[in-house]
Each structure stands twice: as C-alpha cells, then as structure tokens.
C-alpha cells in the first residue's frame, strides 16, 4: 500500500530526475500546490539559483492518467511551436507521466478580475482591456494551432462532436446535476431537446484548435500577459466553444453588456485571420454556449458532491443564471423542457441554500 510519505518521496525523486534532465541545479525546496478539480498533483520546485519550475504528475497509475499526461506534453509542445502563450515545457517522463514546466506564478485571470470588479469605473475599463488581450491570444491560438494538429495526441476524443455533447455535456448535466445533485426525475422530452441542441451546435463549421476549458482559473497572468494552461483536453472543434467558455465563466460573471462587447471584439480579431459570417457564427456560438453551460453545471455538481470539493458549489447559481439567460434567446426557443428545468433548478437551489443558511 502506498502511503502519503511514499507518494511524496516518489514526487521528490521525479523532480530531481526531471530537473537534471532539463539542466536545472539541485532543487532547494518542493512545495505542494492546489489542483482545483483535477486529480493531478502539482508542486513548485525552487532551485538554489533562485529559479523555479512546476512539476505536474498524474494522480494515479491508471492508463487514462498517463494518456492525459502524454497529451499535455505533446499538445503543449505543439502550442509552443505555434507561438501560443503557454508555459514552456522543460522535460517529460513517459513512464510516470510527470512533466516539468515553466512556473507562471500564482496570479490567475480570476484573481485580477475579482479585484477589478470592485473598482468602478476604472476597474471595468481595465477588466475589458485584460479580456481583450486574452481574446487576442485565444484567436491566434485557435487558428494557428489547427495547422499540423495531430488528433493522435488527444487523450480523449480526437474532436468535439455531437456524441461528445450528448454524453459529456447535456448527459453530464442530466446525471450529475439534475438527477444526482437535485434528485429530480428526467422529464419527458428532455432527451429529444438535447439531441436538437447538439444538432444545432454540430452544424458543419470550420474546425480549429479547441482548448475546451478556457476559463479564468485556467488563464495565468504572467509579466502582464495572459498564458493558457490545462490544455491537455485539447482537440479539434468549432471556434465558438472556447469563446463561450471564457464569456459565460461563472467564476467571473461578466455582465451582458461586457459579454457582447467582447464577442464583437473577438469577431473583429477573427476577421483579420479568416472570413467570418457573423450571423452563422452567432447562431453556432449560442448553441455552443448552452452546451458549455450544461457541462459546467454537471461538472460543478459532481466535484462538489462526489469529489468533496465544496468550492464549486458556490458557483452553481451563477451558472444557472447564465443558462437561463442563454435559453431566453429566441434562437433556443425549441428547448421549452430544458428551459423549464433550468428555471426549476434555480428555484430548487435557492431553497436548498436558504435552508442551509438557517
């Protein structure tokens, strides 16, 4: 049986080996870092010359964990070669799946957004500037990294498609949030609506690089510039998904006016690289945003209830508010059952939280 001390010793040995392979001097300290919803283990290495790096190791010996680690290495190397703003990767151990990469510090977009949201009106201008800089980097990464991307690098599916939407997003919402978290029965007609939504989101669209988790806690601000992390789930997919992930992020809760301004800014930057049909893009974007919102609710419910991470429960209500806002758009009027579920879920969650506070 592996003990915590054994696991820490193994991390220490991996850190020493990878540091030597990357040409760093002997490690001075090894500090554990938090991992949000990931099962991976993160440590900061501080070296005798004052430099630092981050060690990322799989949280288990399962084959899926090793595939994820391999994807992180291969996709990260590809993104770096495309001049995407990602951490530099120093060394990788294929046997263990341990990766040594650049230390970007501890400031997330989430951290700065929380500070700027409290400073009106100047804070709002600074927040817009920060998101615009992030969008510039995102657009370039999506378009450039599609060229030469090998689906064999992916640890999961090689592309974002309808089957993935139904199993990993709307299906996740149904199982983890609606049934397990809220203890509600599946209403008649909901599965059919999920299929219709997936069909709209999966309409033939140009395929680009899809990070699939572009949100404020996966964007570091280093030397004043945004840097993307946690891209191990990357694959090929539609442009609008990553933008939706950024704009409906429940951690930050951008207001509708800011979201629209940033969507227009995204389109302006995208047109510099490829032709864009704005009406078609917006229609696909709305469906993809709804898909992403369903995934968020499923994930946050699972992580808070099954993984014992209550941090995520605090963002369920903002995520539901976002979903209700999206479903109010006439483009999604063909989803009356889901709309009613979202309204009911918001009421149920409010009642539950009020009861817990008493």
Is there a domain that residue 61 lies in? yes
Q: How far apart are CA 211 and CA 195, in angstroms?
A: 23
Q: Dihedral angle at the C-alpha atoms of 119, 122, 125, 130, nearest 10 degrees?
A: -60
Q: Are 190 and 174 in contact (CB under 8 A)?
A: yes
Q: What is the CATH number of the domain that holds 303?
A: 3.90.1200.10
Q: Which range of residues forms the domain containing residue 259? A: 113-357
Tell me, yes or no, whether 179 and 323 share the same domain. yes
pLDDT tens-place string over residues 37-82: 788 899 999 998 889 999 999 987 788 899 999 999 999 999 999 9
What is the model's pLDDT at position 289? 98
pLDDT at 160: 95
CATH code, 89: 3.30.200.20
Measured distance CA(317)–CA(346) in Å, rounded: 7
Q: 269 and 211: one domain? A: yes
H helices of 100-204, in order, are: 109-116, 122-144, 162-164, 170-172, 190-201
Of the three residues 102, 125, 145, the one that is the final residue of a domain is: 102
Residues 133, 29 within the same domain = no
Q: What is the pLDDT of residue 2?
A: 55
In a domain, 69, yes or no: yes
Is 107 inside a domain boundary?
Answer: no
> Residue 108 falls within a domain, yes or no?
no
Instruction: Give the Cα-Cα-Cα angle 239, 131, 32 (nearest 5 degrees).
Output: 95
Continuous segment of H or E residues that includes residue 222: strand 219-222
Query: What's the pLDDT at 35?
Result: 78
pLDDT at 239: 95
Among the candidates 35, 68, 102, a domain finishes at: 102
For tokens 């209550």, name the residue: 310
- Annotate 276-299 with DSSP letters as a single string: --HHHHHHHHHHHHHHHHHHHHHH
Residue 61: phi and psi, rounded to 5, are -95, 10
- Residue ranges of the chain with pLDDT lower than 50? 1
Q: How many other C-beta atoms can be found within 10 angstroms of the C-beta atom of residue 170?
A: 24
Q: What would the two tokens of residue 230 be?
A: 């946690």
Q: Cα(27)–Cα(19) distance, rounded to whole angstroms? A: 8
Per-residue confidence (pLDDT) for residue 1, from 0 to 100: 46
* pTM, entire model: 0.94
Which residue, 102, 135, 164, sits at the end of a domain?
A: 102
Q: Are residues 65 and 119 in the same domain?
A: no
- In the chain, how many domains are there? 2
Tokens of 11: 């991390």
Let me know whether 96 and 202 are in one domain: no
């Amino acid at each position: 049986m592996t003990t915590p001390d054994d696991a820490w010793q193994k991390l220490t040995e991996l850190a020493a080996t990878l540091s030597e392979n990357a040409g760093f001097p002997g490690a001075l300290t090894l500090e554990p870092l938090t991992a949000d919803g990931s099962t991976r283990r993160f440590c900061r290495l501080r070296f005798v010359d004052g430099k630092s790096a981050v060690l990322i190791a799989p949280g288990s010996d399962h084959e899926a964990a090793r595939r994820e680690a391999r994807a992180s290495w291969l996709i990260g190397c590809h993104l770096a070669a495309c001049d995407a703003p990602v951490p530099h990767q120093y060394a990788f151990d294929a046997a263990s799946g341990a990766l040594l990469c650049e230390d970007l510090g501890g400031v997330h977009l989430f951290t700065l957004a929380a500070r700027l949201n409290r400073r009106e009106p100047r804070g709002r201008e600074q927040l817009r500037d920060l998101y615009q800089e992030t969008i510039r980097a995102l657009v370039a990464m999506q378009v450039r990294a599609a060229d030469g991307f090998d689906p064999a690098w992916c640890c999961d599916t090689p592309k974002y498609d309808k089957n993935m939407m139904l199993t990993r997003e709307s299906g996740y919402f149904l199982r983890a949030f609606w049934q397990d978290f809220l203890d509600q029965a599946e209403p008649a007609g909901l599965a059919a609506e999920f299929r219709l939504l997936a069909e709209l989101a999966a309409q033939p669209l140009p395929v680009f690089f899809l990070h699939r988790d572009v949100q404020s806690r996966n964007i570091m601000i280093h030397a004043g510039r945004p840097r993307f992390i946690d891209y191990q789930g990357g694959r090929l997919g539609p442009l609008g998904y990553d933008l939706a992930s950024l704009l409906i992020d429940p951690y930050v809760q951008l207001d509708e006016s800011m979201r629209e301004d940033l969507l227009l800014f995204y389109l302006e930057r995208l047109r510099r690289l490829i032709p864009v049909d704005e009406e078609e893009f917006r229609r696909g974007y709305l469906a993809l945003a709804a898909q992403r919102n369903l995934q968020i609710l499923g994930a946050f419910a699972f992580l808070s209830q099954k993984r014992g991470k209550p941090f995520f429960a605090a963002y369920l209500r903002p995520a539901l508010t976002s979903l209700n806002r999206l479903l109010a758009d006439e483009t999604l009027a063909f989803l009356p059952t889901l709309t009613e579920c979202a309204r009911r879920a918001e009421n149920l969650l409010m009642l539950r939280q009020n009861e817990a506070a008493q």
